[in-house]
Chains A and B, each alone.
Chain A
Amino acid sequence: MNAPVILDRRHVLKGSGALIVSFSLSRAFAEEQATPALSPKPPGSLATSPYLDSWIRIDADGAITVFTGKAELGQGFKTAFQQIAAEELDVPFHVLKVVTADTKLTANEGYTAGSHSTQDSGTAIQNAAAQARALLLAEAARRLDVPAETLKTEDAAVISPNGRRLTYGELVAADMLHVQAQPKSSLKDPASFKIMGQSVPRVDIPAKVTGGVAYVQDLRLPDMVHARVVRPPSYGAQLVECDSSAVEKMPGVVKVVRDGNFLAVVAEKEFAAVKAMNALTVAAKWKETARLPKQDDLLAVLTSGLASHDSVIFERKDPLVTGAKTIEATYTRPYQSHGSVGPSCAVAQFSDDTVTVWTHTQGVYPDRQAIAEMLRMPPANVRCIHVEGSGCYGHNGADDAAADAALIARALPGRPVKVQWMREQEHGWEPFGPAMVTKLKASLGDDGKIADWNFEVWSNTHSMRPGGAGCLLAAQHIEQPFAVPPAKPLPLPEGGGDRNAIPIYTFRNAHVVHHFLPDMPLRISAMRSLGAYHNVFSIESFMDELAALAGADPVEFRLNHLEDSRGREVIQKAAEGFGWRKGQKAPEDRGFGFAFARYKNLAAYCAIASEVEVNRETGRARLVRAVAAVDSGQVVNPDGLTNQIEGAIVQSTSWTLYESVTFDDTRITSIDWQTYPILRFDAVPERIDVHIINRPGKPFLGSGETGQGPAAASIANAIFAATGKRLRDLPLTRKRIKDAIDA
């Protein structure tokens, strides 16, 4: 320990009379000091933030706080983490408090993305809690002068054989938890779990159903003003003229902020800000450039219109095996919107030389980095605090709204500024899920099995998240702009555009190519499951095409190519739950479809069987029922997992049947729910059943995105079963289905 920490501790000890190093100070210190190499590393995010007090704080009064660097986005993990910590600490669930992503308080866990939260943060909390409990036991053993093995823990206390009870609050000492985690923890036997594995009700729902303060939109700080941004009408548009004098005189207007192409207005009251925004929109004259590709020709644009960096990402060869019957197919996916129901929002406040930003970003640390760079301030002077927003499903306008708020707040020092994006701004400016093309070709051997498999995918990157200021709209639009950084592919094994491009099935010959497209004609970034949505849609549709060619049952055909035993069990469970029988016919105008994937080939397994009804007159397809089976390792909260899978199925149904971003040669034209329709209640299935295969004691496998791809392919396969027509271009709209039926 060196000087700064000792000083911090003195400071804190003076204040609290007992206990531990101030969490925030020790946290900041832990982050800056070089971590001595531990070999092997402790599990989950303990590998990067090894101090136990980065995760667990126990106060002398018995209060226990759990810290996570991840952000609650509506997945319910705040509740799951509370369960994990309560279980491993032996503390009643309600005693704990969970603090989520905040650059002043929590570990740097990067982004809350990629179904990593429970795998990374949940694992860290589980192990930190177990090790904290072991330290408390050791301290009790020392004080009571008995072997630790004779002691037990319950209800936030250590109990001796003769019934003596020492509470955790009594046992904890100054720096007891400011120690680095050991590589291995002594975790509880899953058979003894009392809280983990239970469907504990979500801690955030009561406030959300009673009008409590639940979202950043609900923050009201003293003396707060309301801001609205006037965005350019199209990518690259230049503000050539803007006489804002009349707007500045409007009632309640505090200020018009202009910095290059960045234009915003601030008012005392919210609706005054909206009216002023409308007036400013009229006053602003822009020079636009037609530079968007042809919306209806994505196939040509992606496969030959844009430069590509090609790489073979998987190769397997067995020259002795050749196929007799060969088929090929091309699948496409359009640009799609995250479509958050609540447009992005943020609050920022400058005081002296620091700024605090309340944001629904997925990554408080990277967002802080980007905002600091944009404002040309040291990152230490920027604090980002995560507050929930509307569900984001990836990189929506959250970070941009945070940057807007920070930039505007700088012009009004001291006053908290709330920026609320309008509907058309979220739809028009959010970074979309990228368009993709896949080309598949495969041959069947005489044994009815796939002899060779060729898969090519064309895609942009799937992450243009900040880290650098150039990823923020405001930073791109100011007078001295930051350039958009060059796109980079996300590396395998997780991958981006090539996520799930490598088949999980065993094919004797296989060749997989990733055509990475660095140029981004539309603003794009991460959307739930990244490339896995389209790659799984393609692979699992094509598996069905090959099963039909082989005259095999689709479920049996998959099992014939799959060695992974957990994958096989998931497929069998979904088929059994659905009542799938070889050769069975669906009722008239209906079809059954099946699909399977293991997300990223390393996270949760998911198989989905669907029944879809097709109206042959209109072409309308409707998901009637879906049955899913999922294996996400050790289950923390079964209802939370079920909720994620149900939601994935419904959301993916919407993407798959209805959604594509529209644009002309200059502007995005899908700017609200009329021009970008999504699933409504008339299309909600009659039922969705989720079967969970629990794996007690096995690692947590991220499950938030595992359903997206299988849901899409199971619907396409069911439409084929119902109509005999194979649809390969997303979305599977009623017009496309009707045209296929009539062809």
Chain B
Amino acid sequence: MMTLKVNGQDHQIEAEPDTPLLYVLRDDLKLNAAKFGCGLGQCGSCTVMVDGKAVLSCVTPMVLLEGKQVTTLEGLGTISEPAPIQRAFMEEQSAQCGYCIAGMMMRAQALLLRNPKPTDEQIRAEFAPHLCRCGTHMRILRAVHRASRLMDTADASSSTRRSAQ
């Protein structure tokens, strides 16, 4: 039995310590966003954040995650209250089949936390581990730029609210 903190909540997980995080998220916690793509760390579909950094959950055994904060796409926002990164992907219609994008969005989120105004080149470099087979890359890049602008606005409005209080 191990305690795993996912999206701000503690979960008691009964799984073999070598179980990759991806299977714990999908099978034990019934979360959909992180996807099985290759199980080899080659495609990025399974990307989640661990302590704010993008991590390939299909090759990260659960035993390494004791005491760490795991964040999945579900932890960022919901359909009715989407996070800026989710709004941006909706507004740019950045999907065809969409199987790869949850992983891309987590990579983008981690990048934007670290670097709120990335250049196009920085985004492309950051996305090197990710594959998209439908060819929606142009839209994905646009969505990350849009998310960067949206987060900026969100930060500005929340700090305005704070200063008004």
Bound: A673/B45 CA distance, A: 13
A648 touches B135 (CB 8 A): yes
Which residue in chain B gives the minimum CB-CB distance to A388?
B97
Do A210 and B73 form a contact, CB below 8 Å, given A202-B93, A341-B100, A651-B134?
yes
B19 touches A211 (CB 8 A): no
The majority secondary structure among interface residues of chain B is loop
Instruction: List, in ascending order, chain B residues with CB within 8 A of A391's CB.
Output: 96-97, 99, 133-134
Please, what's the 1-or-0 string for A339-353, where 1 marks a CB less than 8 Å from any CB in chain B? 111110000000000
Stretch in contact with the other chain, from B27-35, B148-156, B157-165: B27-35
Bound: A644/B86 CA distance, A: 21
Q: Which of B69-112 contact A (CB under 8 A)?
A: 72-74, 77-79, 82, 86, 89-90, 93, 95-102, 105
The verdict on B141 contacting chain A, using a C-beta distance below 8 Å, is yes
Q: Which of A212-232 contact B (CB under 8 A)?
A: 212-215, 217-218, 220, 226
Instruction: List, in ascending order, chain A residues with CB within 8 A of B86's CB.
Output: 209-210
Instruction: List, in ascending order, chain B residues with CB within 8 A of A75's CB.
Output: 96
Q: Which of A619-669 contact B (CB under 8 A)?
A: 639, 643-644, 646-651, 654
A678 touches B79 (CB 8 A): no
B42 touches A674 (CB 8 A): yes
Bound: A649/B33 CA distance, A: 27
Please, what's the 1-or-0 string for B106-141, where 1 marks a CB less than 8 Å from any CB in chain A? 000000000000000001110110111111111101
The verdict on B16 contacting chain A, using a C-beta distance below 8 Å, is yes
B98 touches A211 (CB 8 A): no
Which residue in chain A gives the minimum CB-CB distance to B41?
A673
Instruction: List, in ascending order, chain B residues with CB within 8 A of A568's CB.
Output: none
The verdict on B40 contacting chain A, using a C-beta distance below 8 Å, is yes
Please, what's the 1-or-0 string for B11-28, where 1 marks a CB less than 8 Å from any CB in chain A? 000011001100100111
B42 touches A74 (CB 8 A): no
Which residue in chain B gives the minimum CB-CB distance to A269?
B27
Instruction: List, in ascending order, chain A residues with CB within 8 A of B36's CB.
Output: 217, 342-343, 420
Residue among A210, A341, A388, A643 making CB contact with B37, cutoff 8 Å: A341
B98 touches A209 (CB 8 A): yes
The verdict on A376 contacting chain B, using a C-beta distance below 8 Å, is no
The count of chain A contact residues (Cβ–Cβ below 8 Å) is: 62
Instruction: List, in ascending order, chain B residues with CB within 8 A of A209's CB.
Output: 73, 82, 86, 89-90, 95, 98, 101-102, 105
Most B CB contacts (10 A, CB to CB) among A73, A211, A393 go to A211
Least distance between A572 CB and chain B CB atoms (Å): 24
Please, what's the 1-or-0 string for B40-62, where 1 marks a CB less than 8 Å from any CB in chain A? 10110100000000000000000
Do A393 and B133 form a contact, CB below 8 Å, given A209-B98, A341-B99, A650-B138?
yes
Which residue in chain A gives the minimum CB-CB distance to B20?
A271
Instruction: List, in ascending order, chain B residues with CB within 8 A of A423's CB.
Output: 37-40, 42
Bound: A392/B99 CA distance, A: 11
A340 touches B79 (CB 8 A): no
Least distance between B82 CB and chain A CB atoms (Å): 6
A271 touches B124 (CB 8 A): no
B138 touches A684 (CB 8 A): yes
The verdict on A190 contacting chain B, using a C-beta distance below 8 Å, is no
Instruction: List, in ascending order, chain A residues with CB within 8 A of B137's CB.
Output: 650, 681, 684
Least distance between A250 CB and chain B CB atoms (Å): 11
Residue among A204, A212, A389, A422 making CB contact with B32, cutoff 8 Å: A212
The verdict on A94 contacting chain B, using a C-beta distance below 8 Å, is no
Bound: A210/B34 CA distance, A: 11
Instruction: List, in ascending order, chain B residues with CB within 8 A of A682's CB.
Output: 124-125, 128
Do A647 and B135 form a contact, CB below 8 Å, given A201-B90, A209-B89, A212-B79?
yes
B139 touches A646 (CB 8 A): yes
Do A210 and B77 form a contact, CB below 8 Å, given A205-B95, A220-B30, A681-B137?
yes
B138 touches A208 (CB 8 A): no
Which residue in chain A gives the minimum CB-CB distance to B135?
A650
Which residue in chain B gives the minimum CB-CB distance to A206?
B79
The majority secondary structure among interface residues of chain A is loop
Least distance between B30 CB and chain A CB atoms (Å): 6
Bound: A209/B127 CA distance, A: 17
B72 touches A211 (CB 8 A): yes
B38 touches A208 (CB 8 A): no
Do A205 and B37 form a contact, CB below 8 Å, given A214-B98, A271-B15, A646-B136?
no
Residue among B35, B37, B133 making CB contact with A678, cutoff 8 Å: B133
Instruction: List, in ascending order, chain B residues with CB within 8 A of A740's CB.
Output: none
A673 touches B43 (CB 8 A): yes
The verdict on A76 contacting chain B, using a C-beta distance below 8 Å, is yes
Instruction: List, in ascending order, chain B residues with CB within 8 A of A143's CB.
Output: none
Bound: A436/B27 CA distance, A: 43
Instruction: List, in ascending order, chain B residues with CB within 8 A of A201's CB.
Output: 90, 93
B38 touches A672 (CB 8 A): yes
The verdict on A549 contacting chain B, using a C-beta distance below 8 Å, is no
Instruction: List, in ascending order, chain A residues with CB within 8 A of B138's CB.
Output: 646, 650, 684-685, 687-688
Bound: A217/B93 CA distance, A: 22
Do A205 and B98 form a contact, CB below 8 Å, given A212-B79, A649-B135, A684-B138?
yes
B98 touches A74 (CB 8 A): yes
Bound: A275/B17 CA distance, A: 13
B105 touches A270 (CB 8 A): no
A342 touches B93 (CB 8 A): no
A270 touches B27 (CB 8 A): yes
Instruction: List, in ascending order, chain B residues with CB within 8 A of A644's CB.
Output: 96
Do A643 and B73 form a contact, CB below 8 Å, given A209-B101, A215-B99, A271-B19?
no
Which residue in chain B gives the minimum CB-CB distance to A426?
B38
Instruction: List, in ascending order, chain A residues with CB within 8 A of B139's CB.
Output: 643, 646
The verdict on A207 contacting chain B, using a C-beta distance below 8 Å, is yes
Bound: A199/B73 CA distance, A: 26
A681 touches B127 (CB 8 A): yes
The verdict on A14 contacting chain B, using a C-beta distance below 8 Å, is no
The verdict on A390 contacting chain B, using a C-beta distance below 8 Å, is yes
Least distance between A405 CB and chain B CB atoms (Å): 16
Bound: A208/B105 CA distance, A: 11
Least distance between A281 CB and chain B CB atoms (Å): 14
The verdict on A582 contacting chain B, using a C-beta distance below 8 Å, is no
The verdict on A680 contacting chain B, using a C-beta distance below 8 Å, is yes
Least distance between B34 CB and chain A CB atoms (Å): 8
Most A CB contacts (10 A, CB to CB) among B30, B86, B96, B101 go to B96
Instruction: List, in ascending order, chain B residues with CB within 8 A of A269's CB.
Output: 15, 23, 27-28
Instruction: List, in ascending order, chain A residues with CB within 8 A of B31's CB.
Output: 211
Bound: A342/B35 CA distance, A: 8
B124 touches A684 (CB 8 A): yes
Residue among B27, B125, B135 making CB contact with A646, cutoff 8 Å: B135
Instruction: List, in ascending order, chain A residues with CB within 8 A of B45's CB.
Output: 341-342
**Could you give 16 example pairs across A and B, Cβ below 8 Å?**
A202-B93, A208-B98, A208-B101, A215-B32, A218-B32, A269-B23, A270-B26, A271-B19, A342-B37, A390-B133, A391-B134, A423-B39, A639-B93, A644-B96, A646-B138, A650-B137
List the 4 shortest-distance A-B pairs measured between CB atoms, nearest first.
A74-B97, A650-B135, A391-B97, A211-B33
- B interface, CB within 8 angstroms of A: 15-16, 19-20, 23, 26-28, 30-33, 35-40, 42-43, 45, 72-74, 77-79, 82, 86, 89-90, 93, 95-102, 105, 123-125, 127-128, 130-139, 141
Q: Contacts A201-B90, A206-B90, A674-B42 given; 16 further ones with Cβ under 8 A?
A: A74-B98, A202-B93, A212-B32, A214-B98, A226-B27, A269-B27, A271-B19, A271-B23, A341-B100, A343-B36, A643-B139, A647-B136, A650-B138, A681-B127, A684-B137, A687-B138
